[in-house]
């Protein structure tokens, strides 16, 4: 049941992105230099830092300095500054249920605080590993029916915030939720196995399939994988968290438990975990932490690399235990193969989880609107695991003002386990309404959750030099790729390009100063009326939480400057019928470019990330460093023009920059 599915043997070949278009230049091969040294803060992998996601002492006794000796208030920091400063994309938290071991129903205050904590994880651009537990260091005894009820309640919150849950650690049973020192944790008791199975089944049934489930002990993992009542899809979600990694040869009890199923040697159980993969050949989640013992953690850093490679480790605790993490920081490793000379700690930080690398690409220089773009690929994964969670793949055409994301449904990054992978030929159709011009051509691997796709920090960056486009969150294949008839004289893509001669979709960049306003002006910020007070419709307008102007931002040279750091709100009442208007037009620029992922916009019952709005022609807004008129078709974006109410912008998405708004109008 636990044997590894053999991956297909693949030949080392080029990543080929070939546009097949009549009358265009033949395909050319391009190579991309590898980056074997940089630590890349890619999502859902690497070191994690521990926090207390429940920050209310009324519902969590573990956040009270009066009752917890040596309590560190940093654990309650919902900006997760320590994790972000360390370059980590994961945090870990216990969900402490000690107070409710005798209560059938968890209080709403606890569930609400959990929800707000998960929202804070999202705002910080991170993901969380979560473990429920009824006790810290002691015996846990909670009736099965009560546990099942609590699982159902917690599962509803996790389902609502599944986008930021990297994975769950099963928890609930025993000390620290580790399935020892508590009821139902005796591996030799077959009756208790039935309870364990019902608990795991309830966790799997009350959380979405997008959330993997890590279990503490190999012997209990075998129980679940052999259980006839679990579906294969449910079994494929089950992974391993080793919480005494390298403590000794047995990892302090991790591998030396046996059970009612029989007696298995330590080496056999280790091999179970080395071989653990899904039924489709993907890596399952493996993570955990060390404990306060380092018996198998050699000073040369050999064993940690060997075991993490064999186990396909994706993440581990950076904060505990220092006896091990300090040893990794002190171990100076020599260069070996493609790995540079570095400390063991840095090597772990680079190689845990996936590290995808583009080798070369072969594609033509142009394609026609409505034509087909075909490609095959070879990628290297220099990490110790493949991506565990599903995510989509897109080819992107981006000229700085227009962006077209072309889905490639035949690719699944979970297949890209360590080693080299040749990807079968894929074909996508370029939309017929793509405006002719010169574009960047790129590969984009965003989060599977649509609400996170426009946030670059949740996208996978390849381990190459000179290919990452931070604002777009994609990996550039070519900086000059032609679509349409204007070759060879199409303008080059830039932060503020001019379109090729054609029916031009929005946005259409225009130089500063702004042209004479047309349509119905909501606000041109020319000082009359004064900001903040009333807009040009004579209705209320204002802002708060920005870094200048006492929170309201400042108007200079006839434009509103909003400088923000993950906090800011703008509002302007509309309150007039807009049925005679078709577009909302915002003339805007950013200090750095790419600010479209930093704020949402709400109007007429539609609120979403600014980057998620749709433009005429199917593109999406891009804020550049030059003024651009971004034209949003209201009907296509679900904006109620009969009752538009208030136009709002919320800057709560983990970004810090300045946007300057020259004018907002309706046309």
For residues 50 and 191, state if they share a domain. yes
DSSP states of 510-542: -PSSPPPP-SEEEE--SSSSPTTTB-TTS-BEE
Distances (CA, A) of 92 to 46, 111, 169, 197: 12, 17, 10, 25
Average pLDDT, the chain: 89
Q: Is residue 591 part of a domain?
A: yes
Which of 213, 209, 211, 123 has the alpha carbon at shortest distance from 172? 213
Q: What does the pLDDT read at residue 486?
A: 55
Residue that finishes a domain, picked among 177, 211, 245: 211
Q: Are residues 472 and 550 in the same domain?
A: no
The reply to whether omega before 291 is within 30° of 0 (cis) is no
Collapsing DSSP to helix, strand or coil, 201 comes out as helix
- Contact between 611 and 492 (Cβ < 8 Å): no
Q: Which H or E element spans position 329?
A: helix 322-330
Tokens of 180: 């020892």
**Between these two residues, 544 and 123, which has the higher pLDDT value?**
123
Q: What is the CATH number of the domain that holds 555?
A: 2.60.120.430
Does residue 64 surpass a pLDDT of 90?
no
In a domain, 542, yes or no: yes
Asked whether the predicted pLDDT for residue 213 surpasses 70, the reply is yes
Query: Based on the domain organization, do 186 and 62 belong to the same domain?
Result: yes
Structure tokens at 41: 């803060």
The answer to whether position 71 is within a domain reads yes
Question: What does the pLDDT look like over 464-483, one tens digit per residue?
Answer: 999 999 999 999 999 999 99
Judge if 421 and 556 occupy the same domain.
no
What 8-state DSSP symbol labels residue 179?
S
Tell me the whole-structure pTM to 2 decimals.
0.73
In a domain, 296, yes or no: no
Rounded to 5 degrees, φ, ψ at 457 are -65, -20
- Asked if residues 292 and 244 have their Cβ atoms less than 8 Å apart, the reply is no
Query: Is the model more confident about 1 or about 216?
Result: 216
Q: Do residues 435 and 403 touch, judged by C-beta distance below 8 A? A: no
What pLDDT was estimated at residue 15? 31
In this structure, are residues 604 and 653 in contact, taking their beta carbons and an 8 Å threshold?
no
Q: Which domain holds residue 109?
A: 46-211
- CA distances in angstroms from 363 to 19, 58, 360, 442, 611, listed in the order given: 6, 60, 10, 12, 28
DSSP conformation letters of 537-591: TS-BEEEES-SSGGGT-EEETTEEEEEEES--EEEEE--S--TT--EEEEEEEES
Query: Is residue 364 within a helix (H) or strand (E), and if so which, with residue range?
Result: none
Instruction: State the burial class of residue 67 (Cβ atoms within 10 Å of its Cβ: 0-12, 13-18, 19+).
Output: exposed
Give the integer Cα–Cα distance in Å for 553 and 547.
7
Is 607 found in the same domain as 462? no
- 447 lies in the same domain as 545: no
For residues 644 and 576, the answer to whether their CB atoms sit within 8 Å is yes
Q: What's the 3-state SS for 86-143?
A: CCCCEEEEEEECHHHCCCCCCCHHHHHHHHHHHHHHHHCCCEEEEEEECCCCCCECCC
pLDDT for 372 equals: 84
Q: How far are the Cα atoms of 215, 279, 328 from residue 234, in angstroms, in the given order?
A: 13, 11, 35
What phi-psi label fits residue 600: left (phi over 0), alpha (psi between -120 and 50 degrees) or beta? beta
Q: Structural domain tally of the chain?
A: 3
The whole-angstrom separation of Cα 298 and Cα 295 is 8
Instruction: Determine the Cα–Cα distance for residues 381 and 315; give it in Å rounded to an integer.
Output: 16
pLDDT, tens digit (0-9, with 9 covering 90-100), for 606-649: 888 899 999 998 899 999 999 999 999 999 999 999 878 889 89
Mean per-residue pLDDT, 37-56: 97
Residue 513: inside a domain = no
CA distance 406 to 367: 14
| 485: β partners | none
Flag whether 22 is in a domain: no
Give the whole-number percent of the chain exceeding pLDDT 90: 76
Per-residue pLDDT of 331-380, as tens digits, reads 999 999 999 999 999 999 999 999 999 998 877 788 999 998 888 778 99
Q: Are residues 362 and 467 in the same domain?
A: yes
Share of the chain above pLDDT 70, in %: 91
Picking from 155, 186, 211, the residue at the C-terminal end of a domain is 211
CB 40, CB 87: distance < 8 Å: no
649, 547: one domain = yes
Residue 359 belongs to some domain of the structure: yes
Residue with tokens 């300057």: 660
Could you tell me the CATH number of the domain that includes residue 422? 2.60.40.10
What is the C-alpha separation between 568 and 561, in angstroms, rounded? 12
CA dihedral 5, 9, 10, 12 (to 10 degrees): 130
Instruction: For residue 336, give every residue at least 6 positions away whose Cβ sits within 8 Å of its Cβ, in sequence order, or none.
Output: none
When pLDDT is cut at 50, 70 and 90, the band that residue 663 belongs to is very high
Sign of torsion, CA 482 488 492 498? Answer: negative
- As given in the structure block, the two tokens for residue 551 are 């929170």
Looking at 483, 501, 533, the residue that finishes a domain is: 483
Judged by average pLDDT, the poorest of 245-254, 291-300, 598-607 is: 598-607
Residues 536 and 603 in one domain: yes
The confidence band for 168, taking pLDDT boundaries of 50, 70 and 90, is very high
The verdict on 531 and 410 lying in the same domain is no
When pLDDT is cut at 50, 70 and 90, the band that residue 181 belongs to is very high
Q: What is the per-residue pLDDT across 93-143, written as a single tens digit (0 to 9) for each?
A: 999 999 999 999 999 999 999 999 999 999 999 999 999 999 999 999 999
- Compute φ and ψ for 325, nearest 5 degrees: -65, -35
The answer to the question of residue 445 being in a domain is yes
Helical pair 266-275 and 302-311, crossing angle rounded to 10 deg: 60
Whether residue 527 sits in one domain with residue 426: no
Residue 537 and residue 461 share a domain: no
The Cα 481–Cα 469 span in angstroms is 16
**Domain harbouring 178, CATH code:** 3.20.20.80
Task: Count CB atoms within 10 A of the CB of residue 198.
Answer: 17
Residues 68-101 pLDDT 10s: 777 889 999 999 999 999 999 999 999 999 999 9
600-603 long-range contacts (CB < 8 A, ≥24 apart) are 600/648, 600/649, 600/650, 600/652, 600/653, 601/647, 601/648, 601/649, 602/646, 602/647, 602/648, 602/649, 602/650, 603/574, 603/634, 603/639, 603/644, 603/645, 603/646, 603/647, 603/648
């Amino acid at each position: 049941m636990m044997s590894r599915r053999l991956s297909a043997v693949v030949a080392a070949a080029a990543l080929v992105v070939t546009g097949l278009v009549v009358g265009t230049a033949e395909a050319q091969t391009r190579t991309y230099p590898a980056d074997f040294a940089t630590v890349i803060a890619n999502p859902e992998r690497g070191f994690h830092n521990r926090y207390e996601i429940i920050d209310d002492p009324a519902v969590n006794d573990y956040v009270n300095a009066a009752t917890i000796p040596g309590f560190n208030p940093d654990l309650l920091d919902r900006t997760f500054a320590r994790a972000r400063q360390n370059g980590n994309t994961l945090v870990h938290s216990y969900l402490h249920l000690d107070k409710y071991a005798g209560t059938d129903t968890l209080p709403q205050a606890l569930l609400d605080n959990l929800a707000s904590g998960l929202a804070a994880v999202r705002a910080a651009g991170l993901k969380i590993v979560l473990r429920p537990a009824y006790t810290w260091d002691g015996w846990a005894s909670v009736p099965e029916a009560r546990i099942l009820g609590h699982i159902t309640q917690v599962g509803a919150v996790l389902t609502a915030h599944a986008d930021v849950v990297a994975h769950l650690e099963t928890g609930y049973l025993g000390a620290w939720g580790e399935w020892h020192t508590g009821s139902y944790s005796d591996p030799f008791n077959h009756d208790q196995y039935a309870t364990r199975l019902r608990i795991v089944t309830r966790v799997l049934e009350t959380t979405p399939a997008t959330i993997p489930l890590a279990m503490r002990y190999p012997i209990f993992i075998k129980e679940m994988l052999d259980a006839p009542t679990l579906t294969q899809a449910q079994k494929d979600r089950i992974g391993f968290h080793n919480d005494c990694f390298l403590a000794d040869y047995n990892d302090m009890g991790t591998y030396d438990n046996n059970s009612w199923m029989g007696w298995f040697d330590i080496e056999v159980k280790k091999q179970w975990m080395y071989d653990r993969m899904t039924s489709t050949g993907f890596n399952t989640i493996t993570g955990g932490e060390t404990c306060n013992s380092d018996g198998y953690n050699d000073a040369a850093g050999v064993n940690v690399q060997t075991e993490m490679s064999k186990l396909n480790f994706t993440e581990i605790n950076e904060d505990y235990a220092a006896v091990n993490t300090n040893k990794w920081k002190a171990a100076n490793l020599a260069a070996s193969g493609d790995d540079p000379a570095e400390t063991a700690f840095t090597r772990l930080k680079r190689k845990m989880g996936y590290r995808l690398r583009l080798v070369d690409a072969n594609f033509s220089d142009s394609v026609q609107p409505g034509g087909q773009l075909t490609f095959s690929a070879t990628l290297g994964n220099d990490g110790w695991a493949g991506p565990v969670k599903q995510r989509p793949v897109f080819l992107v055409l981006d000229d700085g003002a227009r962006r077209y994301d072309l889905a490639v449904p035949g690719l699944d990054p979970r297949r890209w386990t360590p080693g080299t992978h040749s990807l079968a030929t894929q074909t996508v159709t370029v939309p017929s309404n793509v405006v002719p011009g010169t574009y960047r051509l790129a590969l984009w691997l965003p989060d599977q959750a649509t609400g996170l796709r426009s946030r670059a920090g949740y996208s996978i960056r390849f381990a190459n030099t000179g290919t990452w486009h931070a604002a777009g969150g994609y990996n550039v294949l070519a900086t000059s790729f032609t679509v349409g008839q204007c070759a060879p004289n199409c303008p080059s893509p830039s932060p503020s390009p001019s379109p090729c001669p054609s029916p031009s979709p929005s946005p259409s960049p225009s130089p500063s100063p702004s042209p004479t306003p047309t349509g119905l002006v909501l606000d041109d910020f020319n000082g009359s009326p004064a900001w903040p007070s009333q807009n040009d419709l004579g209705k209320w307008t204002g802002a708060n939480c920005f870094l200048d102007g006492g929170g309201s931002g400042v108007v200079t040279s006839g434009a509103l400057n909003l400088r923000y750091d993950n906090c800011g709100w703008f509002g302007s009442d509309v309150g007039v019928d807009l049925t005679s208007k078709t577009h909302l037009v915002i003339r805007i620029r950013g200090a750095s470019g790419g600010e479209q992922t930093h704020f949402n916009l709400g109007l007429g019952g539609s609120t979403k990330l600014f980057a998620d709005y749709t433009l005429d022609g199917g593109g999406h807004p891009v804020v550049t460093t030059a003024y651009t008129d971004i034209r949003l078709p209201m009907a296509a974006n679900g904006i109620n023009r009969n009752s538009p109410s208030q136009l709002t912008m919320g800057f709560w998405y983990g970004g810090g920059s300045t946007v300057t708004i020259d004018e907002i109008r309706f046309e």
